[in-house]
Structure 1
């Protein structure tokens, strides 16, 4: 039996955000944490994930950074995807991002494994698909699972991704829509691509008019003698597939992917052709209306959210309304951050829309403008974010107010 003096927390979803939240909350002595994952075992869909200073900061706090290795992204090429012309070369020293580990691209499974290793035993319960949740009169939330079981924790954290049942129940009018943006991703052995010029020598984006192709190391070659390499093919103008609800990680044929790069440089087409049949996975892009209060998306953002939530709950554990007080703190810290990010995204989108309307651009000029726009603006507030300092600044500001 769990002592009534404990605050019980249920986390829905075992991705990086859910795992990080479980780690952070489990360190609090007065909390009992259970993570419910619908899959029968640990798994991670996707290919690679980019990690910069903000990711290292939160992984250090979770004591999970040592388990994450990947390929360095010190030099990144931006190319015209049709001709191969270099539009920009980003040369960065390894510690330019504010951390001696630099920016890396790692397999998502490495991040997942590193976080899993830090989760306390018996915290995760698998084969638990949430079907409904509702508040109960005396406090807490009733969770009903597909297997017929139910639990009533004091607090629920929704970390169940793009198909989130938590989001659908709490925000029934928050309808997702297909953006027309779809990515096909794969990891293959780098040795199978080294015969193709300019593909495996550096991280590179090959930009087309209606899509792009991304190449990157995902393994530390000093650790893995036969490292893996990531290829992502992205299309911006896909039709919505009837009957599919948020396709995520479904299989895609070689012909389907190859057709999206038929007008690209031969080096790109040759690299795509190397991939064995059945290895491509498709990820459709969906979006919904923005919410006014903190509502993050992305692995590093979610891990930061979980850590801030833990700090807020720790701060308010002895107050009259510890959970509501903690949620208010969380919102005060994280919502302005997300609003700043949305503003940055909107500014980039507006600039791109203006450039698209210009008829004077030839394709090369259009792609150059796209690259300049994407790489423009100061993104230090994202990639150099120090979440520990964010919390310390909040505590300092609160002391001044009081």
Structure 2
């Protein structure tokens, strides 16, 4: 693309990764950026989202951090789901030392609104569900949408997250043999007024994980003192749900109270009481899919996968939105660098892959190590209390600074210093 005065970039998906990419790329000259979102309006499925130091750093770079706030996670408890016994309390002092904003749990919709406010007018096109893309001879990609419209772009960014897991349009075009599978892990999520839980102060006073044998429950504030009607998050996970062919693809579908309550019927009474205040029709179900790691997260020399589209881990680290925003910011820096040097877009994607693919490989390696150690513990046939305490002590708090303290600006500066 050397010599062209205008490079067209198509972003597929309007989640945090797509919006962050649109913000970062729209600041560059000689780019025509368009974000294609399948929904008819901005829409965020889910409940809360965790944001740590790595998130604040990239949000600062996108100038969107002022629009984000939530409940503090500075006091996080790990509990036995059956007895309520507190196994560990974490004060997150490492976050305050680096960034006074600390680690928070925020409404997903609030993060989306903060990012939307920074996307230039006219960049987003709604009602654009991608159905196929094709590499054009020489340069460019043809994209075909559900409404039968077609466009051509020089660079395509697959930022469709969970929809990429299910529809797999972008990734399937690049890697046709890459298959996803249902993990058996299913989550039910809801945000409710905190006032409904006023009779359960032990539930609402901290962020807490209540761990069971085949699932867990997560409680957290998602608002702070500035909200007149603060919301509270309840998330229930089950680890061994059966797959129903053709139906186990739900992402944000309604779930009945009976279905959800049955997953915690042996848990502590306080957990069951909290679950019981949720009104019928409020729960949303999210089925977990995962797939093998990708050695490369680019293809055709003109398509990049970011966020969940490139590493389907189903929330293994609770930082997927941040990963996606980091991806988009690095890709923008790579394109800026190659534009300045009058290099082709292919070089920008090579730089992006060189920086980000090893980062995701490291995450997979960490998960492999934890999984192996947990299997060893289970093979020792220790009782549940011993297993749970070991899990909390040795695995939940294993060193993950490379994730939660990641400084994406420094990552880019380190690349430049060694280029």
Q: TM-score, normalised by structure 1?
A: 0.95
Asked if residue 333 in structure 1 is aligned to residue 336 in structure 2, the reply is no
Match in the other structure for 1:300: 322
Whether the 8 Å CA contact 1:129–1:145 is kept in 2: the answer is yes
C-alpha displacement of 1:356: 1.3
Match in the other structure for 1:282: 285
> Which segments of 5 or more consecutive residues in structure 2 lack a partner in the other structure?
298-309, 313-319
Give me the whole-angstrom Cα distance separating, in 2, the residues matched to 1:227 and 1:368.
Answer: 33
Q: Matched residue of 1:206: which SS?
A: strand
Give me the whole-angstrom Cα distance separating, in 1, the residues matched to 2:366 and 2:108.
Answer: 26
Whether the 8 Å CA contact 1:352–1:373 is kept in 2: the answer is no
Match in the other structure for 1:143: 143
Match in the other structure for 2:338: 316
Structure 1 stretches (4+) deviating beyond 4 angstroms? 318-321
Give me the whole-angstrom Cα distance separating, in 1, the residues matched to 2:362 and 2:355.
Answer: 12
Match in the other structure for 2:399: 378
Whether the 8 Å CA contact 1:199–1:267 is kept in 2: the answer is yes
- CA, structure 1 residues 182+373, in 2 after alignment: closer, same or farther (shift >3 Å)? farther
Asked if residue 390 in structure 1 is aligned to residue 411 in structure 2, the reply is yes
Whether the 8 Å CA contact 1:178–1:287 is kept in 2: the answer is yes
Give me the whole-angstrom Cα distance separating, in 1, the residues matched to 2:192 and 2:201.
Answer: 17
Match in the other structure for 2:195: 191
Give me the whole-angstrom Cα distance separating, in 2, the residues matched to 1:237 and 1:97.
Answer: 39
Match in the other structure for 1:14: 14
Q: Matched residue of 1:354: which SS?
A: helix
- Map 1:146-157 onto structure 2 (within 5 A): 146-157=146-157
Q: Matched residue of 1:45: which SS?
A: coil
- CA, structure 1 residues 335+4, in 2 after alignment: closer, same or farther (shift >3 Å)? closer
Q: Matched residue of 1:88: which SS?
A: strand
- CA, structure 1 residues 147+97, in 2 after alignment: closer, same or farther (shift >3 Å)? farther
Q: CA RMSD in A?
A: 1.5
Match in the other structure for 1:107: 107
Give me the whole-angstrom Cα distance separating, in 2, the residues matched to 1:338 and 1:31.
Answer: 28
> Which segments of 5 or more consecutive residues in structure 1 lack a partner in the other structure?
none
C-alpha displacement of 1:374: 3.0
Count of aligned pairs between the two proteins: 394
Match in the other structure for 1:80: 80
Give me the whole-angstrom Cα distance separating, in 2, the residues matched to 1:178 and 1:327.
Answer: 30
Match in the other structure for 1:270: 273
Whether the 8 Å CA contact 1:351–1:373 is kept in 2: the answer is no
Match in the other structure for 2:134: 134
Say which of 172, 178, 182 aligns to 1:178.
182
- Map 1:85-104 onto structure 2 (within 5 A): 85-93=85-93, 95-96=95-96, 98-104=98-104
Give me the whole-angstrom Cα distance separating, in 1, the residues matched to 2:30 and 2:342.
Answer: 15
Match in the other structure for 1:352: 374
Q: Matched residue of 2:202: which SS?
A: coil
Match in the other structure for 2:306: none
Whether the 8 Å CA contact 1:352–1:370 is kept in 2: the answer is yes
Whether the 8 Å CA contact 2:249–2:287 is kept in 1: the answer is yes
Whether the 8 Å CA contact 1:53–1:97 is kept in 2: the answer is no
